[in-house]
Structure 1
Amino acid sequence: MSNPVAATAAEVNTADLKLKGFKAYPVDTAVNPVPTYARRDFYKVALLTGHSILHYADKSIELSGTCLFFANPHIPYSTELLSTRQTGYACLFTEEFIRAPDRSESLQHSPLFQIGSTPVFKLSNEQAVYITGIFEKILAEQGADYHFKNDLIHTYLQLLIHEALRMQPTETFFQHKNASSRITSLFLELLERLFPVESPQQALPLKSAQDFADRLAIHVNHLNRAVKEVTGKPTTSHIADRIIGEAKALLHHTNWDVAEIAQSLGFEYASYFNNFFKKHTGSTPLAFRKAG
């Protein structure tokens, strides 16, 4: 019989994650239950052993044996236990952590994290032993005093990602949820395709909820309802957050002046961009650049 249960203490307490951009912990439902359907603000890689159903966006995936799971912060998911116990490991991390120190392509473009991908990999015994070893190294480094442990953990995470890219994903989907999940997935994928901005002469072609609704050929109210239902955030918040994220990257990693950045992000005047940036960050673009 299924056993949906509440969030683990380890997942709820993300203070360390916000400070460092990373947190790893062991999973054992005999000690802490699995999380209910939720959306978080970080990526996740989990190694899980047991029997369960993963409800991920508009799909449900049956997990049996040992599996590797990659979660995208834009897509809500939950785990429904079918066995009496589930064990393993999990890593939570921000995009800034995995992308540091260079401004590489967003994880949203990765086959493991992009909207519409299959995020679950069934492991053989040999693969399970190897992947378990990587997670154990990550946990050990997290508690170590080594000065460059963040760099080492970053390397281990990249190793997990590359090992998964060599595998074939699981395809045991057996049910669909609602249209809101599909609309939200399409919206988030379309939003992510606009980035990164590569040139000051480039201007975002879509800047408002109405723009995205027109491109998706649906009414803007339908889009707004779907996105709010699935993610808990308004469409405009997703757009603003992504523009702010790109603005920060451009301020840190380019020598473009503020007017050029404003133009590339679709602002007619630099003053509009300054006001927008300060409203969302509490800082002016120039002050943010100097502080970085």
Structure 2
Amino acid sequence: MINKAESIQDFYNRNPRANPLGLSNNNANGLGHFNVFSRENCFRSTPYNRRDFYKISLIIGTGRLYYADKWIDIDRPALLFSNPSVPYSWEAISDKQEGYFCLFTGSFLQADSQHFLLNQLPLFKVGGDFAYFVNDDQCQKIGEIFKKMMEEIKTNYVHKYDLLRNYLQLIIHEAMKMQPIQRYLPHSSASRVCDLFLDLLERQFPIDSQERMLELRSAQDYANILSVHVNHLNRSVKISTGKTTTQHIAERLIKEAKALLIHSDWTISEIAYSLGFAYPPYFNNFFRKQTKISPGLFREQYAHM
């Protein structure tokens, strides 16, 4: 079942032993929140929903990460990055779960630096890769940084959050080294408009309540919000991605529809209305056109997987 976005306080309520230091939701000298944990006593499964915070996990142990209509089998050490835009859940497979994870707000990392624009980093960017398998050397190096974090957060050092922020940036840089260098070329103006569109598109999701309906449905809707001409938006998106604006919207609608069919107990009519379709048959036709299968049959097939 899809739940509403989990806040930091919700996380602590779900994990009452996770905050032995009694850290507040704005613990970093008034500049956001940061905390770090060992995975040895982590839950074997987490609920499928969006979080209102960022999270970096070094997973040592096997399991499956679910996001939208897909999943990743984690069968070796991995470094995972989650952001407030992407809902996910985790199911452990092996009994032994080791490693570390930290959670933080965007204001913590960007408190004194304009360099780290989180939604522009490939690790947290909408549509970017957020799971990286690590070799033994990388696993050891990143694990040592996490250990230093866990030691530092317990101290009374007056500048400890500055130091923790540096450790966090170091992990991000280590992960960025794993990416092809061409991923970091400067953006053109068309790419900038495209990035804004993709970010706005992703912000419409997930639909986690039947009271909340999708508001932006067409290229013109997005152009109005971005204050650009729809032709300029369409041209920028096509140049940058090779796909039309309408294709991106349709693909994201299908992705969300599949997630709702898999993870919610909503009826197909309720899903249709939440995605902005005035009549369920319109949704059925749209889903079948995009996937070659009806919503009902898709849900039935997935239930038997």
- Structure 1 match to 2:159: 148
Q: 1:40 to 1:11 in 2, by over 3 A?
A: farther
- Structure 2 match to 1:23: 35
Kept in 2, the 8 Å contact 1:8–1:34? The answer is: no
Identity %: 37
Structure 1 residue corresponding to 2:81, chosen from 57, 70, 90: 70
Structure 2 residue corresponding to 1:107, chosen from 118, 121, 124: 118
Normalised TM-score (structure 1):
0.56
Normalised TM-score (structure 2):
0.54
In structure 1, the gaps of 5 or more residues are: 1-6, 170-184, 194-207, 236-292
- Partner of 1:135, secondary structure, is helix
In structure 2, the gaps of 5 or more residues are: 1-13, 181-194, 204-214, 225-229, 231-244, 264-273, 276-305
Structure 2 residue corresponding to 1:122, chosen from 123, 129, 133: 133
Kept in 1, the 8 Å contact 2:44–2:92? The answer is: no
Aligned amino acid, residue 135 of structure 2? S
After TM superposition, list the pairs within 5 Å mapping 1:136-175 onto structure 2.
Answer: 136-168=147-179
- Structure 2 match to 1:189: 199
Q: 1:83 to 1:213 in 2, by over 3 A?
A: farther
Aligned amino acid, residue 25 of structure 1? F
> What CA distance in whole angstroms lies between the structure 1 residues aligned with 2:17 and 2:178?
29
- Residues 25-54 of structure 1, C-alpha deviations (whole Å, 9 max, x = no match): 11124x643422121110000111111111
Q: 1:74 to 1:160 in 2, by over 3 A?
A: same
- How much does 1:10 deviate? 5.7
- Structure 2 match to 1:282: none
Kept in 2, the 8 Å contact 1:16–1:23? The answer is: no
Computed over aligned residues only, the root mean square deviation of the Cα atoms, in angstroms, reads 3.8
- How much does 1:58 deviate? 3.6
- Structure 2 match to 1:176: none
- Partner of 1:16, secondary structure, is coil
- Partner of 1:167, secondary structure, is coil
- Partner of 2:175, secondary structure, is helix
Kept in 2, the 8 Å contact 1:54–1:62? The answer is: yes
Q: 1:144 to 1:105 in 2, by over 3 A?
A: closer
Q: How many residues end up aligned between the 2 structures?
A: 193
- Residues 117-175 of structure 1, C-alpha deviations (whole Å, 9 max, x = no match): 12111111111111110000011111111110011000000000000011159xxxxxx
